[in-house]
Amino acid sequence: MSTQLPYRPPTLRLQGLRALDENAVRLFLKLAQQRLRQTWIVLEDSSPVDADVVLASPGTHPLRGQRVVWVTAPGQPVPPGGHGTLPRPLQLEAFYELLQQLKPQPPTACAAPAPSLPAPPSGTATRYRLTRWPSSQMLVTHVQGARLASFLSARYLSATELAQLSHVPTEACSRFIHAMRQHGWVETQPAPSPTAPTCAPTRPASGAPAWISRLRHKLQLTDTLPAIG
């Protein structure tokens, strides 16, 4: 049985950069987030976690074994042992291409993949609810992924109900639910069984309503017409 490893966003550490360069990097990450399809996290200097990529100025000494990208001024010599360079002033496209090359691959378990689940019909009455928040890579893969996840996290919804609330096409909602099921991130609520139709109350055996019968009895009238002749 396959085990899904927890998703960890890629991390970036800034070492020895000017304040101007640090601000540019943080702005570039926001602008390129949709294109990168990953949410990069900038680690603080005090964080003990090893970063996936370190942007460092020459003259600093990053930890051995980390992937270092040197941020250099025009004509400044590049230290050996790096995984690339970013010349100043920093440019968005160069920064984007560099992260595309250095982005870590998502972890995979060394086990047989889980059997694929059939996609639910878009009009099914079965309701689904998220048991965990999807990864950022999964959210940007689907149309309005974050919007759909927010509705599915709050309540049980079918694909049709999700489409009505989110104003996203039903087929897109069905595909999103199917992807969440493949990862085991949803729980289902069976469709409610149809209720038996209620029968209308029956009238008294006589043809007249009950209140007429009571009135006849009070006035000592018979329920039948007198015979003629």
Confidence class of residue 190 from pLDDT cuts 50, 70 and 90? low
Exposed e or buried b for every residue in 72-97, given b needs 16+ CB within 10 A? beeeeeebeebebbbebebeeeebee
Whether pLDDT at 223 is above 60: no
Whether pLDDT at 204 is above 90: no
What are 44-89's pLDDT values in tens digits? 876 666 788 888 899 888 777 678 999 999 888 888 878 888 899 9
Model pTM score: 0.43
What are 40-50's pLDDT values in tens digits? 888 887 666 67
What are 108-117's pLDDT values in tens digits? 444 444 444 4
Residue 211's CB is within 10 A of a number of other CB atoms, namely 8
Whether pLDDT at 208 is above 70: no
Cα–Cα distances in angstroms (integers) from residue 47 to residues 41, 54, 152, 175, in the given order: 12, 13, 34, 38
Q: How many percent of the chain have pLDDT more than 90?
A: 10
What are 8-52's pLDDT values in tens digits? 677 888 989 999 999 999 898 888 776 766 678 888 876 666 788
